[in-house]
Amino acid sequence: MRFYSPACRDREDYRRAHRRILRSYRADEKIVSVKRVVLLIALLCAACGYEGADNPLAVERQGAVQWREGQTIVALGTSLTFGFGADCKVFPFDRDCALPDSSYPATLAARLKLPVVNLGVPGATTRDGLLRMIEALTHDPALALIELGANDLFQEVLVADARANLVMIIDRFHRAGVAVALLSFSHPDMIDHTPPDHRLQDKKAEALAYHQMLLALADEFGLPIVEYIFEDIWWKEELMFDSVHPNGRGYLLMEENVVRGLHSFLAANDLYAQ
């Protein structure tokens, strides 16, 4: 069967996606290796159902993390992974800011004493995550932490379309031998603690549908999941930077939520600092 992602409806979308990914490379990166280009084309063909692509999505339950020297953990996500609202990570960015990074990938790296690459991008959707797979795989990850869906919700992306993108992301990681864990931004508790005038109030049903979709994906693929990264953070004034982002203290608690949610998985795979 062919898998058609909402990221690529036709060949023109394929070409636009191709140009977009190439532009994402830094201006000072003079040479793109043949290996990376081939991987890029393969990923795009699979994502777009491009003519000639053979992409059967056989669901395989995840095995143990196979860690090799020099590998990394990649954190693929939104502004919540980037850490927007914490310390130096506010607009406009101050290049001279010397405050420590309290985003969850940074503090997780310190806890585990393992390299955690922060691939969080403010505004990123599941479609953007799919298009950044080439970048994620160049970091030679053993484990990928995926926090995506919040921007899909607010941009009114159908849950089914977001799910299709996430399935492709999970499948691409698994085919590359990378273990995956999911992080859910929404939860019934979030709805209960959201102020009446918050924009989430108009999307309560959709937010809960996204949460259920992530739980179902975790069960289908046998993935560990952090069921609520905002636990004990959401809408506590002293822990929030704005209406949707934590502040520095809030992100420290978010990392604790991630570790607590993945504790059994991390321990079983010997990923805690020795």
Can you read off the two tokens belonging to residue 122?
A: 């403010």
Residue with tokens 């036709």: 10
Residues 92 and 44 in one domain: no
Contact 25, 71 (CB under 8 A): no
Residues 106 and 16 in one domain: no
Can you read off the two tokens belonging to residue 40?
A: 């890029």
CATH number of 82's domain: 3.40.50.1110
The C-alpha atoms of residue 146 and residue 78 are separated, in whole angstroms, by 9
Average pLDDT, the chain: 83
Contact 247, 85 (CB under 8 A): yes
Residues 50 and 66 in one domain: no
The C-alpha atoms of residue 66 and residue 180 are separated, in whole angstroms, by 12
92: preceding bond cis by omega (within 30 degrees) = yes
Q: Note down the domain range covering 121.
A: 59-268
Contact 44, 14 (CB under 8 A): yes
Among 171, 176, 126, 175, residue whose Cα is nearest residue 147:
126
Residues 145 and 203 in one domain: yes
Domain membership of residue 274 (yes or no) is no
Average pLDDT over residues 79-87: 94
Higher pLDDT, 118 or 11: 118
Residues 257 and 173 in one domain: yes
Task: Reply yes or no on whether the pLDDT at 155 is more than 50.
Answer: yes
Higher pLDDT, 80 or 36: 80
Residues 34 and 106 in one domain: no
What domain count does the chain have? 2
Quote the distance between the C-alpha of residue 163 and its chain's center: 13
Q: What is the pLDDT of residues 86-139, one digit of tens each?
A: 988 887 777 778 788 999 999 999 999 999 999 999 999 999 999 999 999 999
Contact 48, 8 (CB under 8 A): yes
Among 76, 60, 74, 45, residue whose Cα is nearest residue 171:
60
| β-bridge pairing 179-183 and 141-147 | parallel
